[in-house]
Amino acid sequence: MVLLLSTLLAASATVSLTVDVTLKCPAPASLTERMARVGLSVLPPSPQTPQVTELLARPSFEVSIKPTAGGLLLTTRRTSDGKVFERTVETGREDCPTVERLVVVLIHSWITSKMPVLSPHGLDGGSRR
């Protein structure tokens, strides 16, 4: 079981998810399900076995969702380098599934985006001048 779990986690980005308890929408359970559909593994809040605890000690990304006066504040922090992605999403009168899809699409785009790396020597595929 531990081997299967480690293989699964190695194949996808692991995410710790914190949703403010006052929020009715989005719900952690349905967000976890939606994130799994796009290849993101959401870590359980409290692993049950020591082997699982060791494997899940450090997620690739820490995601939090909090209510604000302007909507939902989404924050995603990449644990490897501390890079933070943040945005306030206006929820308006949308239904909960629409809000959840928007949240998952935004978080997934942050996690899967390839940030450009600039070479100090101009060797990144461009021509030197």
**Number of structural domains the chain divides into:** 1
CATH number for position 54: 3.40.50
Q: What is the rounded distance in angstroms from the CA atom of residue 76 to the CA atom of residue 83?
A: 8
- Domain limits for position 57: 2-112
Spell out the per-residue pLDDT of the chain, length 129, in tens. Answer: 444 444 444 446 889 999 999 988 888 999 999 999 999 999 887 655 455 545 555 788 999 999 998 889 999 998 888 899 999 988 777 788 888 998 999 999 988 876 554 445 544 444 444
Asked if the structure places residue 128 within a domain, the reply is no
Record the tokens describing residue 83, joined without a space.
Answer: 């890079």
107 falls within a domain: yes
Q: Which residues contact 67 (CB under 8 A, 6 or more apart)?
A: 20, 22, 23, 73
Cis peptide upstream of residue 120 (ω within 30 degrees of 0): no
Kindly give, in sequence order, each residue whose CB lies less than 8 Å from that of residue 92, ignoring residues fewer than 6 positions away. Answer: 71
Task: State the pTM of this model.
Answer: 0.69
DSSP 43: P
